[in-house]
């Protein structure tokens, strides 16, 4: 069998020419073996009609195997010549022929050096794309953080607006007065809370004693 890989032919046919020839060889060989078995069975049936014949089935089998070996040797020689002809004249694509899908290489030829330079440029562009994607992700995270901070600032501004409205309602006009007012009310609320907690504790103790 030929050792030439014949990659271009495999691209066109969808299989390697060597694989095709191997299958043809196996098919012929199987047919030869089956034919010899049929011939042997016919001879054995014919001998059944001659009771006085001294040829045994074992001798017939040995003769069949010898003849099969003889046929196989001649078949291999003939097939080797047939394979050479088919691989050169039938299953071979000439060097000056381009497949339709490879016409682009004829229109835009590239040398090995140009192809390597193009690959290097592609790798560089891929690295730039990854860097820009990473920067974009970081920017989106920063924008999200700014959005959260802005929302919190808007809440604080609303709180100050509410504080200003409350101050006006209670007759205080500046921030110091408003803050003092809130501090005073906060302390009052804390005192009330403490008083409620103490009373609650006393009620619980009274309930436990009962």
pTM of this structure: 0.46
Q: What is the mean pLDDT of residues 17-21?
A: 88
**pLDDT band at residue 118 under the 50/70/90 scheme:** confident
Taking residues 125-131, report their average pLDDT.
91
Calculate mean pLDDT across residues 110-131: 86
CA separation for the pair 110, 124 (Å, rounded) = 19
Could you state, in order of their start, the residue ranges of all structural domains in the chain? Answer: 7-107, 137-208
66-103 burial string, b = 16+ CB within 10 Å, else e?
eebeeeeeebeeebeeebeebbeeebeeeeeeeeeeee
pLDDT at 160 over 80: no
- List, in order, residues 6 or more apart from 192 with CB less than 8 Å away: none
Most confident of 110-114, 132-136, 138-142: 132-136
Q: Return phi, psi of residue 32, to 5°.
A: -65, -45
Longest dimension (CA), the chain: 144
Q: Residues 72, 29: contact at Cβ < 8 Å?
A: yes
What's the number of CA atoms in the CB half-sphere (13 Å) around residue 55?
14
Q: With bands split at pLDDT 50, 70 and 90, how would you rate the model's confidence at 127?
A: very high
Average pLDDT for 158-176: 62
- Res. 126 pLDDT band, cuts 50 70 90: very high
């Amino acid at each position: 069998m030929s050792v030439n890989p014949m990659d271009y032919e495999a691209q066109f046919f969808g299989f390697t020419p060597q694989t095709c020839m191997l299958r043809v060889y196996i098919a012929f060989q199987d047919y030869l073996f089956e034919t010899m078995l049929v011939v042997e069975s016919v001879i054995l049936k014919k001998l059944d009609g001659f009771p006085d014949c001294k040829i045994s089935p074992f001798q017939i089998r040995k003769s069949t195997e010898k003849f099969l070996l003889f046929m196989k040797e001649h078949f291999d020689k003939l097939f080797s010549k047939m394979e050479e002809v088919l691989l050169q004249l039938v299953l071979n694509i000439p060097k000056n022929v381009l497949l339709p899908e490879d016409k682009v290489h004829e229109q835009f030829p590239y040398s090995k050096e140009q192809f390597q330079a193009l690959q290097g440029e592609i790798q560089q562009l891929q690295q730039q794309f990854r860097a820009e994607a990473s920067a974009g992700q970081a920017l989106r995270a920063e924008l999200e953080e700014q959005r959260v901070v802005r929302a919190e600032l808007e809440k604080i501004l609303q709180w100050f607006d509410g504080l200003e409205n409350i101050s006006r309602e209670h007759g205080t006009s500046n921030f110091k007065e408003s803050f003092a007012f809130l501090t005073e009310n906060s302390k009052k609320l804390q005192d009330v809370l403490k008083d409620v907690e103490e009373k609650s504790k006393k009620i619980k103790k009274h309930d436990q004693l009962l």
